[in-house]
Amino acid sequence: MKYYVLTIFPEMIEQVLSTSILGKAADKGIISFEAVNIRDYTLDKHKKTDDYPYGGGAGMVMSAQPIYDAHKAIIERAGHPIRTIYLTPQGSVFKQPMAKEFAKEEDLIFLCGHYEGIDERVLEEIVTDYVSIGDFVLTGGELPAVVMIDAISRMVPGVLTNEESGINESLEGNLLEHPQYTRPAEWNGKKVPDILLSGDHAKVDQWRHEQSLIRTAKARPELLNKAELSDKDVVFLKQ
């Protein structure tokens, strides 16, 4: 998987993505990143990438030309069309199934906006997917791009070890993860639940599943409608 990120702040992308699991996956060649600086493509003599909005109003609008040319250079180099995601609060909300779907692509382009947005005409020309990471407004698209790249990369075969890939797969089943504990068995006067020390794997699995049900019912009850619940689960939740 190759990610291209069109941005005026390439350092915001490069630093984060070269760290931890994603950095290791990049070192192994399973994924790669390229932050493309939109400013490198402006034809403006002052290297400007934005301008005043037609019709007036506050803020600046990112110009079409440098974005279009930066995008075109990527496509020409790749030699094939590439799905292009524009990060915007006006997009469809990013969820786990979307991460799985994007992970099937050979490459992806992320377009990060700033200020009051981007000239609509270039969006019409190059964007295939409008995506929001949630109902809040950020100062730019870089953090949402990094969030999406992290979630998508987890779904790319080889990025996670077998052990890691089991972690938090529960959201896939529309249930939240059960609580976890590590040594010591007592800390700050609080004991680890006895069942986790029992060595009875079937009982541990059952307890963890019940904890997932309880957590989901408390924090995200709407997820239970989409979860595949057994008759036993339904009875348990009614208690």
Closest separation in Å from C-beta 85 to ligand ADE: 10
Which residues within the stretch 94-133 sit at the binding site for ligand ADE (CB under 6 A)?
Answer: 132-133
Cβ-based nearer residue to ligand ADE, 99 or 175:
99
Is residue 7 near ligand ADE by the rule CB under 6 A?
Answer: no
**Hey, which residues does 35 pair with through a beta bridge?**
5
User: Does 138 carry a binding-site annotation?
Assistant: yes
Closest separation in Å from C-beta 141 to ligand ADE: 5
3-state SS, one letter per residue, for 151-212: HHHHCCCCCCCHHHHCCCHHHHHCCCCCCCCCCCCEECCEECCHHHHCCCHHHHHHHHHHHH
- Report d(CA 155, CA 135) in Å as an integer: 24
- Report d(CA 207, CA 213) in Å as an integer: 10
Which residues within the stretch 48-87 sit at the binding site for ligand ADE (CB under 6 A)?
Answer: 87
**Of 7, 49, 144, 216, which lies in the binding site for ligand ADE, with binding defined by CB under 6 A?**
144
Closest separation in Å from C-beta 7 to ligand ADE: 12
Cβ-based nearer residue to ligand ADE, 75 or 138:
138
Is residue 137 near ligand ADE by the rule CB under 6 A?
Answer: yes
User: Does 135 carry a binding-site annotation?
Assistant: yes
Burial of 112 (0-12, 13-18, 19+ CB in 10 A): buried
- Name the residue among 67, 65, 79, 133 with its Cα closest to residue 107: 79
Which residues sit at the interface with ligand ADE, rule CB under 6 A? 87-89, 132-134, 136-138, 141, 144
Known binding positions for S-adenosyl-L-methionine: 113, 133-138
